[in-house]
Chains A and B, each alone.
Chain A
Amino acid sequence: MPAATIKSRPIYPGLSLDGKARRHLIAAEGEGALAVLDVFADQPDAVARATLLYTPGGSAAQEHGAKLSALDFDGLHLMPTQPTLLTRLGVILQTATMGTRIYVAGVEGFIGKVIASAQTHGVDPQSVRAEHRGSLARRVQCVHCKGMTENVTATPFVCSHCGLNLFVRDHFSRRLGAFQGVCVDAEAPGELPAREELYL
């Protein structure tokens, strides 16, 4: 788990079961499946009141989906991609009621998107239980062209939209679920610091 040294970056305390919730709504991606299994595997009562949305992400080969299917969730949505999962999540949130606890597990960009979706349905981000699993790759927004680049593992990197050389600033926006990318050679074009693989 990433160290909580960046004051703008949310701390993800990890999943824990809310025993009082009437419904559990879980969104998971890739390795996040393991966090879901850790919490729900031996909780049949909770599983019977839970809806799970899962997309394999980068770890499809590990067959987490099959293990999750075996748990007999009240609702199970195996989705091919993050965007399709988020669309389905939005539909479920539309009619969800208070007493529903929302959980999210996976890479940080995914956590950010799920929390943002919940927030548009009136859920305070602090009430979403989140766990970071899988790659430390960052989702980065270019502050200049506003384009998002997914899975950034090194700084500096080239913006996938406008082509500027960006360094990844340790400043995180929960609303965007992204770090901030800022032009690294604005003061001396072409003068780039050594590339560092910091977010593997």
Chain B
Amino acid sequence: MTIQFKQETFRDDFTFSNSPEAIRRFPFPFDRDEYMYAVNIEQHMPGPAKSAFEFPIDIDEHYVAEMQDRALVLKEDPLRCQSLPHMITAEWDLLELLMESMAKNYPEHFTLTKDGDRWRWVNRPLGIDQSFTFGDVSTLPYPPMEYVTRQCQGDFCLLDQRLDNLWMDSGIVTTQADWSLDFDIGMNFMEWHAPVPLAHDLGVFERALKFLLNLQQGRPVRRLNWTMTINPRLDTSPENYHKWGKDRTTVTPENVGDKVHLRVELQALWRLPRSNAIVFSIRAYMIKMEELVTVPKWGRRLHRVLRGLKPELVEYKGLSRYHGMTVDWLSRHDDGAPTSPGFFPD
């Protein structure tokens, strides 16, 4: 099926929106009416057709616009893409994983042909036709990780495994929920999760690390994480927080439905074959409240989740200024009826 790619923006005039089909396939992250941290890791197996989980790498109607936004971010701030020298093999592993997955599952948009180490990559939506030698950086216009991730939705971090820990030694991060790759690069798993409240005490990260150290080739895993964003801004980086932070003060009871967005991260992890590194992908999906309540189950459930959210999490996720207004707005879409278990719309 050919995807109709939208022309839209994630900054300035914020023309981003979801089509009705995109709303139906939104990866709603709450399978019950309350939220608490958990090691909610599951096998990254193919999900229902047309869902965000149908393929290992999800390409959707926002693809072209997101890639244009990424190019703008990198032009302003090259530090959003960094890689320590020992990660070069992992970069090639990532390029292979993404190109193979995109070409296999979206053949009408992407084609990969191989003749030994001589590869040809065709990306029709972005108008790219590149022949190169796998393993030879001089045959690509960018280093391999940057090259392929300028053409793939989602942020990507490459984690080196050593000394019984995972080290974030490489990454491209332009659509992040308020964390800085430039600051966190070189940190281990415990260190880069340091600012997250509550979860350390619950032992969440110890268990998750132990699990990931034994992550197996051919058995990727995924989890969902979430926060909220004012305006459909992909680049909510700490680097630019002094520019976008004031957006949070622009929410009024009248514009909640249009301004407040649920932001969901589909995080997936793969063991890479040649490097033994792990790729950690963080794919952001956004949906405004008005769009979300078109699925009645989600409107009811998000109201209940936000109403019961612990104060530490309200603060950590940066919701303080508009949490109350959003709960009030959503209450109009919650008739108190019971919700069915699971994520998907009824």
A/B touching: CB–CB < 8 A: yes
Question: B246 — which chain A residues lie within 8 A by C-beta?
Answer: 186-189
Query: Is the CB of B118 closer than 8 A to any CB of chain A?
Result: no
Contact with B along A147-190 (1 / 0, CB 8 A): 00000000000000000100001111111100010110011110
Query: Is the CB of A144 closer than 8 A to any CB of chain B?
Result: yes
- Given the known A-B contacts A141-B183, A173-B186, A173-B187, are A8 and B194 also in contact in the complex, defined by CB atoms under 8 Å? yes
Residues of A within 8 A of B (CB): 6-9, 124, 126, 141, 143-144, 146, 164, 169-176, 180, 182-183, 186-189
Segment at the interface with A among B15-23, B66-74, B143-151, B236-244: B236-244
**Closest partner residue, chain A, to B182 (CB atom):** A146
Contact B242 A173 (CB under 8 A): no
Chain B, range 97-112, C-beta contacts under 8 Å to A: none
Question: A173 — which chain B residues lie within 8 A by C-beta?
Answer: 183-184, 186-187
Please report the C-alpha to C-alpha distance between residue A189 and residue B244 in the assembled complex, in whole angstroms.
Answer: 12
User: Which of A6, A141, A175, A189 has the largest count of B CB atoms less than 10 A from its CB?
Assistant: A175
A143-B183, A174-B191, A180-B180 are known; give 20 further A-B pairs, CB within 8 A.
Answer: A6-B194, A8-B187, A8-B194, A9-B194, A141-B183, A144-B240, A144-B241, A146-B79, A169-B195, A171-B194, A173-B183, A173-B184, A173-B186, A175-B185, A175-B187, A182-B241, A187-B246, A187-B248, A188-B246, A189-B246
Query: Is the CB of B190 closer than 8 A to any CB of chain A?
Result: yes
Main secondary structure of the interface of A (DSSP, over half): loop
Q: 6 tightest A-B contacts by CB?
A: A186-B245, A8-B194, A7-B194, A175-B186, A8-B191, A183-B242
Query: Is the CB of B35 closer than 8 A to any CB of chain A?
Result: no
* Contact residue among A6, A7, A143, A171 (Cβ-Cβ distance under 8 Å from B239): A143
Please report the C-alpha to C-alpha distance between residue A40 and residue B321 in the assembled complex, in whole angstroms.
Answer: 55
Contact B242 A186 (CB under 8 A): yes
Count class of interface residues, chain B: 20 to 34
Please report the C-alpha to C-alpha distance between residue A170 and residue B244 in the assembled complex, in whole angstroms.
Answer: 22
- Given the known A-B contacts A146-B79, A146-B182, are A170 and B195 also in contact in the complex, defined by CB atoms under 8 Å? yes
Query: Is the CB of B193 closer than 8 A to any CB of chain A?
Result: yes
Question: A169 — which chain B residues lie within 8 A by C-beta?
Answer: 195
Question: A7 — which chain B residues lie within 8 A by C-beta?
Answer: 190-191, 193-194, 200
Q: Smallest CB–CB gap between A181 and chain B, Å?
A: 10
**Closest partner residue, chain A, to B240 (CB atom):** A144
Q: Smallest CB–CB gap between B248 and chain A, Å?
A: 5
Question: A175 — which chain B residues lie within 8 A by C-beta?
Answer: 185-187
Query: Is the CB of B163 closer than 8 A to any CB of chain A?
Result: yes
Chain B, range 242-282, C-beta contacts under 8 Å to A: 242-246, 248-249
Question: B79 — which chain A residues lie within 8 A by C-beta?
Answer: 146
Q: Smallest CB–CB gap between B159 and chain A, Å?
A: 15
Question: A8 — which chain B residues lie within 8 A by C-beta?
Answer: 187, 190-192, 194-195
Question: A189 — which chain B residues lie within 8 A by C-beta?
Answer: 246
Q: Smallest CB–CB gap between B86 and chain A, Å?
A: 10
Please report the C-alpha to C-alpha distance between residue A6 and residue B195 in the assembled complex, in whole angstroms.
Answer: 8
Q: Smallest CB–CB gap between A148 and chain B, Å?
A: 12
Q: Smallest CB–CB gap between A163 and chain B, Å?
A: 11
Contact B245 A187 (CB under 8 A): yes
Question: A182 — which chain B residues lie within 8 A by C-beta?
Answer: 238, 241
Contact A144 B242 (CB under 8 A): yes
- Given the known A-B contacts A144-B241, A182-B241, A189-B246, are A174 and B183 also in contact in the complex, defined by CB atoms under 8 Å? no
Please report the C-alpha to C-alpha distance between residue A3 and residue B41 in the assembled complex, in whole angstroms.
Answer: 32
Question: B193 — which chain A residues lie within 8 A by C-beta?
Answer: 7
**Closest partner residue, chain A, to B162 (CB atom):** A124
Q: Smallest CB–CB gap between B209 and chain A, Å?
A: 12
A-B contact pairs, 27 of them (CB 8 A): A7-B190, A7-B191, A8-B187, A8-B192, A8-B194, A8-B195, A9-B194, A143-B180, A143-B183, A143-B238, A144-B238, A144-B240, A144-B242, A146-B79, A170-B195, A172-B194, A175-B185, A175-B186, A175-B187, A180-B180, A180-B183, A182-B238, A186-B243, A186-B246, A187-B245, A187-B246, A187-B249
